[in-house]
Structures are given as C-alpha cells and as structure tokens.
C-alpha cells in the first residue's frame, strides 16, 4: 500500500491533470493536507527558530529576535493585521551553576536552577543534604532539616501530580529552616538530563535557592542516605531577577468574509526555557499555528468568521502574555467563538479538548455534542477525537472568564522525557507529524470559522 503522505501529493498531481469541469471539488481537508506535505513549511520554520534563534526565555535577546522573525514570516505570507501587542515580562537569568558532593565521595552533579529561584550567596554554600520522598516525610523531620539542603526525591507520577514539588519545594523546606531545596527532575526517564521549570515562593517565608537534579543524582543521594552516610554538598547558583523587560504577543489574522468581528483564535507560545532549543515546548505549537494560517491563506480559503493567530510571550515564567491579552481584549470576549492553544509538543494530534469551566455539566455535554455534529465529519480524515478537557496556560485567563477554550492535545509519548531540558532540540521532531498537525489545525480552525457554532 502506498503511504498516505505519498499518495496525497500523487493524487494532487493526477487530479490536476485529469481535471474536468464536472468534477466535484476536492475536500478542504485533503487540499490542506496535500499542501502541508508539499511545502513542509512548519518544519523549515522550526529549523530556523531552533538553529538560528535558539532558546527564548523572557527578557532574552533571542525572544526579541523570535518576535521579529515571526512577524516577518506572517507578513511575507500575506496575512492581515500582523502586529505586536506589548507586554512587560519577568527577566530572570540563570547565571553560573555548579554542585558537587564533598562527602561521602566526590561527585560532580548535573543540575539546573529553577526559574525564579534566588541565587546562593557569592561563592556558594556548603551544607549537609537530607533526602525525603514527600512533603509529609520532611514535615515529620521538622527541625532536623534546619541549616540543611533538602532533596525531594519524588518519583514521577505524571506531570501534574509531581510538579508540585518543583513549584512549592523551596518554600515548604524554608519553613523548617532549610538553606536550599533540590527536586528530583520532573520527568519519567533520564539520560542525565535535569529538567528546569518555574517555581513559586510563598511570600511569607524566606526565599532559599532551588534547583532540579537528575534522576541519577537524586537516587545516588537516596542510596547514600539509606547506608547512613553523611552527604555534604557544595552548591552555587548564580541566579538573579532583573527588572521586567519589554516583550510582546504577536498577532495575525485571516479576516472573515461575512462575520469578521467573530473570532476563532488559535495560538502557541513563542517563549521557551533557556536550555535546549524549545523545539517541543513550544516551538512546535508556534510553527504549526503559523503554518495553519499560511495554508489557509495560500489556498485562498477565506472563512466567514475571522481566524486570529496569537503567539504568546512569557508562558513559561509568568504568563504575562495571556494575562495582558485578557485585559486588553475583554470587550471582545463575547465575539471570541473559541480560543485554542497547542502546547503539548510535536507528536500527532490526538484530540481537541473543549474547556468550558463556567458552564454546567449539562451545557458542556451538549456543547461537545454540537461540536461533534458540526465538525465531526470534517475532522474525520485526521482521526482526532473531540473531548471535554483542559485548554492551555495562555488562553487560561480568558477561558476562566467565560471564553470557550480548546486544547489541541498531541500524543506525548516522549514529550516529558525532554520537557524543559537541554535535549529539547529540533532533531527530535518528525517532519510529517508537523505537516499533519498543521493541516489538522488549519482544517479545524477553518471549519469552525465557516460554521455558525457557538459554545455556552
């Protein structure tokens, strides 16, 4: 059997040759997929974003470059209303980092400071390490962690469940007098890969430096403690928070032909952590959303309602892009049919999840049924399901105030292996997956913008 990705371009050529006036027009889904697999525009954009711009943390020159680059690409594609909407973003910088065990045996540790962490005193700090497996275990030790470095060695039980240790570990340990907090990286596997990510301080407690260690090093220290050995560590984190920096969300539109004031919003976030290339998180979401707009534009598919693209700034450590958008666009909320976000990597899309936190259970179920009725057939070629679920961090502020949210959810078989690590690089991304996802997103946005569907 000829693979579908080869068959489509072949069919495109044949149908062009055999075109007769009586022939039925090709379905939009098929045209979008053929064009996505012909151009592979999302893949070449991602290569540029990763290879030539690199990682893009808020406040970095690379994020500024990415904002300029994305606008240029969208203008070149002929999209309407390409502009930026300014936002001030946090400006945290990592600085120099190092950690080593002095006792019971010398080991150099591979770690990454957590976003928002304070630094250690100049020259670092040296203290004993206490390994715990949960907040409860640490609280039982109480004053015994005073003056020590607490390591939360918590095995991965899914991102949502385990990430609380990264968010809250520092303040929970500071409450008992710890001088620093380390967390086992939040991920299912490791090739000596520490995972960074944002953390939050409880303003009522002292701020202590905090970092993620690898699974290898967390389990090493756990074994040392189990043998009753004293673990002594020298830790240096050069992190600091500078004054807020100017940044921006990037916007572009395909104006609707009949109801231009009704908006189907699609989005991804342009910023990333300051390690790797931010290829999966969220370079992939950024480029498929850009490509979806370009596919519709280049095939002349002008929808009845407006399709608006937003590339968010500062998803990773502040959400200022999504918060500023909510404030600036509140008057427009009733006109936003849905706000979609893609931020779960580059693997193939599995579902579009409808997020209606303010609606009743009955209203949600009926909205899902309407979505299936209106768009089920159109989306069938992509094999994606419609479900109820979460939408996305950046659209979240709007969605919590009643704008219908949609999460474009991708298979994430390896997403959390490399999430927020040095390994989140372009080589892990499959070219055909990106083309497929861009076509699926374009088809979904177009079908919704063609319909009269409204959610509660």
Cβ 41 to Zn ion, closest distance in Å? 21
Residue 236 annotated to the active site:
no
Active-site residue, selected from the candidate residues 315, 316, 341, 409? 315
Choose the stretch contacting Zn ion; rule: CB under 5 A; options: 39-47, 89-97, 211-219, 340-348: 340-348
Q: Using the rule CB under 5 A, is 424 a contact of Zn ion?
A: no
Cβ 291 to Zn ion, closest distance in Å? 18
**182 or 186, CB closer to Zn ion?**
186
Cβ 167 to Zn ion, closest distance in Å? 15
Cα–Cα dist 444/438, whole Å: 10
Cβ 158 to Zn ion, closest distance in Å? 17
Cβ 389 to Zn ion, closest distance in Å? 16
Q: How many CA atoms lie within 13 A of 179 on its CB side?
A: 18
Cα–Cα dist 128/314, whole Å: 36
Cβ 213 to Zn ion, closest distance in Å? 22
Choose the stretch contacting Zn ion; rule: CB under 5 A; options: 66-74, 157-165, 219-227, 342-350: 342-350
Tokens representing residue 367 in the block:
């909205």
**37 or 325, CB closer to Zn ion?**
325
Kindly tell me the sign of the dihedral angle through the C-alpha atoms of 188, 193, 197, 201. Answer: positive
Tokens representing residue 100 in the block:
């080593």
Secondary structure in 3-state letters for the chain: CCCHHHHHHHHHHHHHHCCCCCCCCCCHHHHHHHHHHHHCHHHHHHHHHHHHHCCCCCCCHHHHHHHHHHHHHHHHCCCEEEEEEEEEEEEEECCCEEEEEEECCCEEECEEECECCCCCCCCCEEEEEEEECCHHHHHHHHHHHCCCEEEECCCCCCHHHHHHHHHHHHHHHHCCCCCEEEEECCCCCCCCCCCCCECCCCCCCCCCCEEEECHHHHHHHHHHHHCCCCCEEEEEECCEEEEEEEEEEEEEEECCCCEEEEEEEEEEECCCCCCCCCHHHHHHHHHHHHHHHHHHHHCCCCCCEEEEEEEECCCCCCCHHHHHHHHHCHHHHHHEEEEEEECCCCCCEEEEEEECCCCCHHHHHHHHHHHHHHHHHHHHHHCCEEEECCCCCCCHHHHCCCCCEEEEEECCCCHHHHCCCCCCCHHHCCHHHHHHHHHHHHHHHHHHHHCCCCCC
108 exposure class (CB count in 10 Å sphere: 0-12, 13-18, 19+): exposed
Cβ 282 to Zn ion, closest distance in Å? 4
CB of 284 closer than 8 Å to CB of 409: no
Q: Using the rule CB under 5 A, is 343 a contact of Zn ion?
A: yes
Cβ 80 to Zn ion, closest distance in Å? 27
Site size for Zn ion (CB under 5 A): 3
**221 or 289, CB closer to Zn ion?**
289
Choose the stretch contacting Zn ion; rule: CB under 5 A; options: 8-16, 115-123, 335-343, 432-440: 335-343
Residues 252-281 binding Zn ion (CB under 5 A) are 281
Q: Using the rule CB under 5 A, is 409 a contact of Zn ion?
A: no
Tell which one of 282, 291, 394, 409 touches Zn ion (CB under 5 A): 282
Choose the stretch contacting Zn ion; rule: CB under 5 A; options: 53-61, 103-111, 114-122, 341-349: 341-349
Residues classed as catalytic: 315
Instruction: By CB under 5 A, name the binding residues for Zn ion.
Output: 281-282, 343
């Amino acid at each position: 059997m000829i693979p579908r990705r080869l068959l489509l371009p072949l069919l495109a050529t044949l149908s062009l040759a055999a075109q007769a006036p009586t022939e039925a027009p090709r379905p939009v889904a098929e045209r979008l997929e053929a064009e996505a697999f012909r151009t592979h525009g999302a893949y070449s954009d991602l290569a540029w974003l990763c290879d030539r711009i690199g990682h893009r943390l808020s406040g970095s020159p690379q994020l500024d470059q990415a904002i300029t680059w994305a606008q240029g690409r969208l203008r070149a594609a002929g999209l309407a209303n390409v502009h930026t909407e300014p936002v001030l973003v946090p400006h945290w910088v990592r600085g120099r980092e190092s950690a080593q065990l002095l006792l019971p045996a010398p080991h150099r540790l591979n770690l990454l400071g957590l976003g928002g962490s304070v630094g250690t005193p100049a020259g670092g700090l040296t203290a004993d390490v206490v390994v715990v497996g949960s907040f409860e275990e640490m609280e039982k030790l109480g004053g015994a962690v005073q003056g020590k470095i607490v390591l939360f060695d918590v095995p991965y039980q899914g991102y949502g469940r385990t990430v609380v240790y990264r968010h809250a570990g520092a303040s929970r340990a500071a409450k008992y007098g710890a001088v620093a907090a380390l967390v086992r990286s939040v991920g299912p596997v490791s090739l000596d890969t520490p995972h960074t990510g944002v953390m939050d301080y409880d303003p009522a407690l002292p701020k202590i430096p905090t970092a993620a260690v690898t699974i290898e090093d967390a389990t090493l220290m756990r074994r040392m403690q189990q043998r009753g050995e004293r673990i002594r560590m020298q830790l240096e984190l050069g992190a600091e928070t500078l004054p807020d920096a100017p940044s921006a969300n990037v916007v572009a539109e395909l104006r609707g032909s009949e109801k231009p004031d009704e908006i189907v919003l699609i989005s991804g976030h342009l910023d990333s952590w300051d390690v790797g290339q931010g290829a999966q998180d969220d370079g992939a979401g950024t480029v498929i959303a850009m490509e979806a707009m370009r596919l519709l534009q280049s095939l002349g598919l002008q929808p009845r309602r407006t399709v608006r693209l937003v590339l968010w700034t500062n998803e990773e450590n502040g959400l200022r892009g999504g918060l500023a958008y909510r404030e600036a666009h509140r008057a427009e909320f009733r006109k936003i049919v849905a706000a979609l976000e893609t931020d779960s990597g580059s693997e193939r899309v599995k579902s579009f999840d409808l997020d209606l936190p303010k609606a009743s259970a009955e209203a949600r179920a009926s909205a899902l049924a309407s979505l299936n009725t209106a768009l089920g057939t159109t989306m069938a070629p992509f094999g994606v399901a419609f479900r109820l679920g979460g939408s996305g961090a950046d659209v979240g502020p709007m969605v919590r105030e009643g704008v219908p949210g949609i999460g474009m959810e991708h298979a994430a078989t390896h997403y959390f292996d490399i999430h927020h690590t040095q390994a989140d690089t372009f080589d892990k991304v499959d070219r055909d997956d990106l083309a497929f996802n861009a076509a699926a997103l374009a088809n979904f946005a177009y079908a919704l913008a063609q319909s009269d569907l409204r959610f509660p």
